[in-house]
């Protein structure tokens, strides 16, 4: 992609986009929580062709229409989020702190043979809490404290059975 396009997209993300790291509860996940990375671009439905242009540039993610007349282009997953943030980083202004922290946290995520464990999840969930402060989260319910409580109940203090 050309520098001009990357600069334009970064400006669009600064104004009408969001970089998120979320703690997501999953009953089927062995640690109960996962860290979800995403980038979302927002636009009125009548201008959603622009979102299709973006999707064509990045070749990942999905577009959906909301009930309030807005459309969202969402990119989910560590690898695509890292790739996009690295491309846009030199041009970001308002979301630069979020992008830097997201890249820091995602770099610490286990991968290629290493498994997530309770210690790493708890450490990273503390970083996700910092990220939420940068995004002025209002409805956030899953926090590092909830992760800690879950891990204490289910993993760190397992139920003992009689022999």
Residues that are catalytic = 15-16
- Strands 33-44, 70-76: pairing is antiparallel
Q: Which residues pair with 72 in a beta bridge?
A: 42, 64
Q: 62-65 and 70-76: which strand pairing?
A: antiparallel
DSSP for 36-102, please give it.
Answer: EEEEEEEEEGGGTHHHHHHHHHH---EEEE-TTSEEEEEEESHHHHHHHHHHHGGG-STTHHHHHHH
What Å distances lie between residue 15 and 47, 50, 95, 149, CA to CA? 15, 14, 9, 36
Q: Do 151 and 143 meet the contact criterion of CB atoms below 8 Å apart?
A: no
């Amino acid at each position: 992609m050309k520098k001009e396009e990357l600069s334009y997209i970064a400006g669009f993300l600064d104004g009408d986009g969001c970089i998120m790291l979320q703690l997501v509860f999953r009953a089927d996940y062995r640690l109960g929580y996962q860290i979800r990375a995403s980038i979302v671009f927002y636009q009125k439905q009548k201008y959603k062709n622009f979102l299709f242009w973006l999707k064509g540039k990045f070749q990942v993610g999905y577009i959906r229409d909301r009930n309030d007349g807005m459309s969202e282009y969402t990119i989910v997953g560590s690898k695509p989020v890292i790739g996009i943030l690295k491309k846009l980083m030199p041009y970001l202004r308002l979301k630069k702190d979020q992008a830097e922290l997201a890249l820091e946290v995602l770099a610490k995520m286990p991968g290629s043979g290493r498994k997530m464990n309770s210690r790493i999840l708890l450490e990273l969930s503390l970083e996700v809490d910092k990220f939420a402060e940068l995004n002025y989260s209002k409805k956030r319910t899953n926090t590092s404290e909830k992760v800690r409580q879950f891990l204490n109940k289910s993993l760190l203090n397992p139920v003992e059975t009689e022999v």
